[in-house]
Amino acid sequence: MKRLSEKHKRWHTRHTLLSHTRTLRRRNHRHALARDVPIKQELTLPQNLSFEENYVETNNFFTALRRAAGRPRVSLKIDFTTLRNIGPAAALVLASELHCWQLNRLRGIRVVDIEDWHPGIAILLHQMGLFDLVNVVNPPAFRPIPNFPLHFIRFRSDKIADGSAATRLRTDLEHLTGKIPSWSHLYRGLTEAMTNVRQHAYPNVQEDDAPINTDLWWMFGAFEEEDRILTCVFFDRGVGIPATLPNKFTREHLASFFQRFGLTQSDASMIEAAMVLGRTQTGARHQGRGLADIKRVVSQMPNGKLRILSGRGQYSYSGKDPADTKTLPSSIGGTLIQWEITLAGEQESLER
């Protein structure tokens, strides 16, 4: 075997050391990549984000958003360019999901391709304060659209029963609607909804589908100018009315209710039970009237509609019993309350 010269020996040693060092660096870099580089995920909004008109696609989107937001190291991009219509209820749920996402992340949500958004959508989301709420890093500039028929009001969110938040909502709405007669009924419904959230919505249970569990409520308003329809929406990401009702009423009580009205037990019938039993219960007489307040808004304000979505149940009431109930294809992941009041009808009735 040929002997290596001293020069070759030194070269060989240095080369071996360098090669080993590079190997170690590459290995460490891969480990660093595995630790720090986020997984990119993109979600695309459906064209029509509306629980009323497109429940399955809308709720599927929110379910996917919740799952993505709950995973660590996910860098999430949401494509808004496909969105053409957004209902008030879906808009509020969108804000709540993005707000929760933001609360659990250090970085702001980046808004991209704003120039490709439907201009009406961009305006509505701007009006509702979605960009402020979620601390968007590069807030875009908006050009108002003259005579745009739909207006959104800024979101509010909190943990406590805060009547002043409802007052601020009224002030914002009345800039568009003029004085809202019988506002005290809506105030009552909103503050009772806040109280229900505070007391019942977030027990110390981690929901499998809601890895980010914040004990907040969200509310906002919308006004459709042509038909003078005022919409107020309230949402929480809690366990839902069907889950909490068995804590308030005995099994026998509930069974008796279902039997009396010929109902099978479902999330929808649980909501109906909550609306009825809250007025007539024995036992803790002093509690359980909050849902009656929520329903009373529609009874007291003409041309009103109430819709409650909780778990997989939907309850709809237009001022006269019986209410309409329906089982939804999937859980909404909380409780959503929507009041819709036609102000033109109310003002006409006041003139009579």
Partner 1 sequence: MKTIHLANDFSPTPAGRYRSDGPYSGQAFREDLLVPNLALGEVEVVMDGGEGYGSSFLEEAFGGLVRVEGMKKSRVHQVLRVKSDDQALIEEIWEYVDSA
Would you tell me which residues interact with partner 1 (CB under 8 A)?
Answer: 160-164, 166-167, 170, 183-188, 191-192, 194-195, 198-199, 285-287, 289-290, 292-293
Kindly state the DSSP code that residue 141 receives in the 8-state scheme: P
- Taking the least distance from each CB to partner 1, the nearer of 105 and 198 is 198
Pairing of strands 150-152, 156-158: unpaired
Pairing of strands 229-236, 304-310: unpaired
Angle at 169 between CA 230 and CA 180, to 5 degrees: 50
**Nearest Cα residue to 233 out of 344, 87, 122, 349:** 87
Rounded to a whole number of angstroms, the minimum distance from the CB of residue 191 to partner 1 is 4
For the chain, what is the total number of helices (H) and then of strands (E)? Answer: 12, 12
Rounded to a whole number of angstroms, the minimum distance from the CB of residue 238 to partner 1 is 15
* CB 201 within 8 Å of CB 241: no
Rounded to a whole number of angstroms, the minimum distance from the CB of residue 156 to partner 1 is 13
Cα–Cα distance, 242 to 349 (Å, whole number) = 36
Rounded to a whole number of angstroms, the minimum distance from the CB of residue 282 to partner 1 is 11
Q: Which residues contact 163 (CB under 8 A, 6 or more apart)?
A: 187, 191
Rounded to a whole number of angstroms, the minimum distance from the CB of residue 183 to partner 1 is 7
- Taking the least distance from each CB to partner 1, the nearer of 91 and 298 is 298
Q: How far is CA 285 from CA 92, 251, 269, 278, in A?
A: 33, 17, 22, 9
Rounded to a whole number of angstroms, the minimum distance from the CB of residue 194 to partner 1 is 6
- The 10 Å Cβ neighbour count of residue 252 is 8
Cα–Cα distance, 10 to 119 (Å, whole number) = 69
Rounded to a whole number of angstroms, the minimum distance from the CB of residue 286 to partner 1 is 5
33, containing H or E segment:
helix 6-36
